Amino acid sequence: MFSLKRKGDYRLQLTRTLKKPGRYDVELYLFTPHENDLSAWTLDERQFFFSTLSHRFGLLGLPEEDRVSKTDGSFALLSPHYEIMFGSWLFQYRASMDRLRQQIQNAGVTEEPLKRALRLSQNFAQRLRRSTPEQSNQRRYFRQLDIYFSWHAEQFFLECMTLEGYSELDEELIAAIQEFLQQEYRHRREREYLSDFHGSPTRVWNRMSLYHRLLEYPVLLRSKVTELGEGTRKLVKAASTMLIMTLFTYFLFNARAGNQHLSIALLLGIASVYAIRDLLRDDMITVITRWLRKGKPRWKIRLLMPYTKRLMAQQRVWLDYRKLPNLPHEVLEHSGKWATNEERQIICYRSVLSLEKGALERDKIQERLSLDCEKLCEMIQATRNRLFSYADDEPFAAIQAHPIEKQHDYNLLLVYTEPGTGHSTAQRWRLRLGSDGIVHCESKKTHWPSAEEQQRRSGLLRLRDHLRRH
């Protein structure tokens, strides 16, 4: 199951953990609103894939069952194994804390998630600070990791302190959290980390964001993207050139046989043929290439292990804009009233990930699907409309003018299949975008068929196909 988290004013991030090898199918459908003018002219598919959508994978720490390798660090004495091991631990710690933060935001501050967060932070601090590395590059990585962890843990608990109901929790738990924060402050002072926490809030936030990017670099799988269809495009281009030049040569020889001298009309005819060829050639090649490659993946991605470049997984990606009648039958059948306009564009993204068995020998993998809505927000035109109302209950006492912000509602449908399940699962969110970013995001109920209904339906389809063949 995917969990959704807002990252800044424009970005949304969907995450889940991959625990076993096999084939993972993910289909994302972004239903645009009626007022939106999204098309291949305003934001083409290639630009959307490389600038708006991000699909990344990272190592998520060692399995919980592997207790021996956690205590035995002999395999990680040298770089880059040291950075990969500790970076994956940080990745796993952040994922656990993010799940607890999401739980607190949905259900309010309670003792159980806070106790778990405190226990996770104390265990991670003990494991991290058990020993200090000797190599200079490892010491630099350890320092950044220690600073970032201390800041991240502090930010989590300080955020919880500002929520309603925190003061009503158990006094021992509140005292334990305060003691942990005081220990972290003393640790920073002893290690001379306090200078990294000084400065304006923006400066400190940007510094920690930089540390986070440096720390996660050793655990992010490297993506080697190959754009498919270039060979088909070259063949179509060669065939179209051969056809046009054959017709042109035939016309030229016939015109030359009828008239032994070049004339202005003949020269204009030749120029017109070249002009028509240049005018229609690119569009014709694009249309024919898309027709030949309809239903085939547009990109192939090889995911490689950091530093060692060992192949971990292969991914095939589809991306196109469709109208409502062109959606898959299962999606179209179980779409609600939010998918009724047949004219608007629907962004369809599909990914098929083939995860190698050896990729999960020591690590789990976190899948992160990020959507940057900045380009979509730029399409919302500003308005100067105002709504007038009475300031008080008494009419005509005072009148207020309220500015109106134009907003667009999007529906995000995510359909995914995991290896060994044999059925698909769906999640849906409603996004409300304004010109300044994401206004609101909420999870909505999806009327998706259960596993039993899907198996029953697939059996009926197989029976129907059998009867048709016989």
Question: Does 190 reside within a domain?
Answer: yes
- Residue 210 domain flag: no
CA distance 139 to 47: 40
Same domain, 352 and 404: yes
Question: Do residues 187 and 244 both lie within one domain?
Answer: no
What CA–CA distance (Å, rounded) separates 429 from 410?
A: 8
pLDDT for res 341: 65
Clarify whether residues 336 and 421 are in a common domain: yes
- Rounding to the nearest 10 degrees, give the CA dihedral for residues 59, 61, 65, 68: 120
pLDDT at 396: 66
Domain for residue 217, yes or no?
Answer: no
Domain shared by 50 and 98, yes or no: no
The tens digit of pLDDT for each residue in 256-313 reads 666 556 567 767 777 777 777 777 677 778 788 878 888 888 899 999 888 778 888 8
Domain final position from 292, 312, 340:
292
In a domain, 218, yes or no: no
Single out the residue of 134, 91, 1, 37 nearest to residue 414, CA to CA.
1
Domain edge (last residue) among 292, 310, 342: 292
Residues 343 and 451 in one domain: yes
pLDDT digit string, tens, across residues 52-92:
999 999 887 654 433 334 444 444 455 677 888 888 889 88
Q: Do residues 357 and 274 both lie within one domain?
A: no
The distance in angstroms from the start CA to the end CA of the chain is: 41
Length of the chain: 470
Identify whether residues 322 and 469 lie together within a single domain. yes
Count CB neighbours of 414 within 10 A: 21
The answer on 314 and 419 residing in a single domain is yes
Q: Same domain, yes or no, for 462 and 366? A: yes
- Quote the percentage of the chain above a pLDDT of 90: 28
How does strand 299-304 pair with strand 437-444? Answer: unpaired
- With a cut of 70, say whether residue 122 has pLDDT above it: yes
Mark whether 250 and 283 lie in a shared domain. Answer: yes
| pLDDT tens, position by position, 388-435 | 777 776 666 677 888 878 888 899 999 999 888 878 889 999 999 988
| SS3 of the chain: helix, strand, coil, percent, to 5 | 50, 25, 30
How many domains does one find in the chain?
3
Classify residue 53: in a domain, yes or no: yes
Handedness of CA 286, 290, 293, 299 (dihedral sign): positive
Residue 18 domain boundaries: 1-60+302-470
With respect to residue 187, please indicate whether it lies within any of the assigned structural domains.
yes
Model pLDDT for residues 219-260, shown as the tens digit of each residue: 888 889 988 887 888 888 888 878 877 877 777 777 666 655
Residue that finishes a domain, picked among 180, 198, 216: 198
The rounded distance, in Å, linking the Cα atoms of 20 and 9 is 34
Task: Please give the single-letter amino acid code of residue 170.
Answer: D
Q: What is the mean pLDDT of residues 147-176?
A: 92
Residue for token pair 């060994």: 420
- Interatomic CA distance for residues 134 and 463, integer angstroms: 67
CA distance 433 to 424: 29
DSSP class of residue 220 equals: B
Instruction: Report residue 336's pLDDT band, with 50, 70 and 90 as the boundaries.
Output: low
Asked if residue 194 and residue 130 are part of one domain, the reply reads yes
Establish if 212 belongs to a structural domain.
Answer: no
Peptide bond into 80 cis (omega under 30): yes
Entry pTM: 0.77
In 3-state terms, what secondary structure has residue 365? strand
Residues 121 and 176 grouped into a single domain: yes
Identify whether 342 is part of a domain: yes
pLDDT recorded at residue 462 = 63
